[in-house]
Each structure stands twice: as structure tokens, then as C-alpha cells.
A and B are shown apart, each in its own frame.
Chain A
């Protein structure tokens, strides 16, 4: 993963526009957050291989960045994005790593299902 380069991510987002794509979207504090700090309210969610088609997509912000995908009846949204990679399978992997390098959020787009 490399630190986000806005125009490269935007170009990749645009390449998937109007195509059926599979999404992996995730936020997490880690399963130990409340164990390590009892006053911390742990929460998280993920969806893997949701099939969507989006009509527009944008990455924006000063960094960490926000990304939104406009789908026919709603939106896909992620904030806290710091890193990106276009992997060997042409998939766009976006992730937000916290100050210790731990993953906090991920938004990934692929034309084929994730394993």
C-alpha cells in the first residue's frame, strides 16, 4: 500500500464506473479495544462481496481522505482513507491505517469477487 495519490485513486475509481463491481467495506476498532480500555465503546462492520454498480465516485479531503460511491438508490461511504493499491488483479484497495499502522477502515472495489 502507498499513501493516497488523489489523481491516481480518482482515475481508478472512474474506471469502475457503470460496471458491476464487488465491494469490500469495513470499519473496525479491533476485537480488543474494550478489553484494553474499558471506557472505549467498540464497534465495527463489514460487508464482503456486495455487488453494486455506481454512477459516480469521488475521493476528497485533505488527508485522511473520504470516498463516496453513488449507487442507484443510495451511497457507499468511507472516511479515514490513507493508503491505496491497485493490485495485480486490477482491484482498487483503499485503506485507512491509524497512527500505529493498524487498519481502521477499508474500501475495496473489484470486477471479480474477493476470495
Chain B
């Protein structure tokens, strides 16, 4: 992994940072690079409430806000920005407003690397709209001055259309921290982790590969 000056991570939901990116975040922090996480919503419209449910539609936002803070602490992120949007509404917001918000974050923080979702290849409408806003903001910067833009993609057609990811980080050295970050989002991950625990114990190769390899595509303008 190259040393970065500052990394800006932009995702719409608490837990988006945990699954595919938290090992990379923890690795940068271990290298002494400051990381800012800008999280657009509190995942208020999530469907997972625990089983049996310990959250409801109205308590979920406060619960997920705390889970986000816990995950951020587990990863050692020093700068968390909660941008105050509502889950499932990003694609309906004013595009210019979103672009300007991303531009102001980039201007303020001057990151050498920005991480977000790859628009068109990230399944959830909030992911697509968030990634698209970041791409628009970076595109406005003269090419020579742009930060690197690494995107997460996981739609079924992503490898077919984008090719293999050009960046794969082996994060096995920090996989415990990653699991702590995933675990912090208890309302969303408890069920999944229970299923995964057995596979991790058996050292199931597919599960280990999922956990230890974080894949990114450099955005092609």
C-alpha cells in the first residue's frame, strides 16, 4: 500500500465502511495517515432490527449512530462527519448540492486518496448517488491536481464491465480490527456474523478471501 497524505472515505450508510473497506482504513491509520469518514445518513430505513428485534423504526437511527461511533473508534478514525441526510433519499436530493458538499470536503481536507462507491456498479440507489456525487466533485478538479479515486463495486456485472479490480489490499494483518468494526454494527451484522463465525473457525477459504481481500477499481473518467 502506498503511503497517503490524507484519506477521505465517503459512504451513505453506517456499516458501508465496515464490510469492504475497514481493513484498508485500519491499514492507513496504522501507517499514520489521517482518515476522514463522511457518512451521509444514519441508515434510518434499515431492515435489520436484531432477531428477536431490539430496535424499531424510530429507535434505529440513535442505535445506528452509536454503532457508527463504535466502529469508528474500533478503526481509529479521528474525524467522523455525519452529514445528516435520510436513508434511501440521496438520489432524490439536489445533485448540485451534493456535488458542492463533496467539493467542500475535498477542498477542506485536501486528501491524496478518496474512497467511495463506483457509480453504476454498487447496487443500492444511495450507493450509486453518493459515488456519483463524489465523482462529479473530483471531476471538477483539474486533472493534475485530482486526488486518487478508488471505488468499491459489487454489482453482478462489475467484473464483466470494469474488468478485474486494479487494487487488491490483503488486510489479513488487521482482520481482527475489521471484525471489530463489523461487530460494532450489531443491529445490522449480528445474524451475518453468527453464520460467519463457524466458517471462520473452519478456515473456509471463500469466507477468508472475502474477509482478507479488499478490492477497488480506480475510477476511469
Binding site for B on A (CB under 8 A): 1, 24, 26, 28, 30-32, 35, 38, 46, 83, 85, 87, 91, 93, 95, 97, 100-104, 106, 108, 114-115
Contacts and interface: CB of A to CB of B under 8 A. Distances in A.
Given A31-B125, A102-B49, A38 B191 contact: no
Interface in B44-67: 45-53, 56-59, 61
Query: Which residue among A26, A83, A87, A97 has the maximum number of chain B CB atoms within 10 Å of its CB?
Result: A97
B221 to A, nearest CB: 26
B51 A101 contact: yes
Contact of B58 (A38, A87, A101, A102): A87
Chain A CB within 10 A, most for which of B56, B123, B124, B126 = B56
A96 B87 CA distance: 20
B56 A93 contact: yes
Given A93-B57, A101-B53, 10 more contacts: A24-B57, A35-B155, A87-B58, A87-B59, A95-B56, A100-B191, A101-B48, A103-B57, A104-B47, A115-B61
A101 B192 CA distance: 12
Interface residues of B, number: 22
Interface string B23-57: 00000000000000000000001111111110011
B160 to A, nearest CB: 14
Interface of B: 45-53, 56-59, 61, 88, 123-126, 155-156, 191
A2 to B, nearest CB: 9
B146 to A, nearest CB: 30
Contacts of A108: 57-58
Contact of A102 (B48, B56, B125): B48
B56 A85 contact: yes
A30 B56 CA distance: 16
B127 to A, nearest CB: 9
A32 B52 CA distance: 21
A37 B143 CA distance: 40
Contacts of B57: 24, 26, 93, 95, 103, 106, 108
B72 to A, nearest CB: 22
A31 B91 CA distance: 13
A32 B56 contact: no
Query: Which of A102, A103, A106 has its CB near the most chain B CB atoms (within 10 A)?
Result: A103
A101 B50 contact: yes
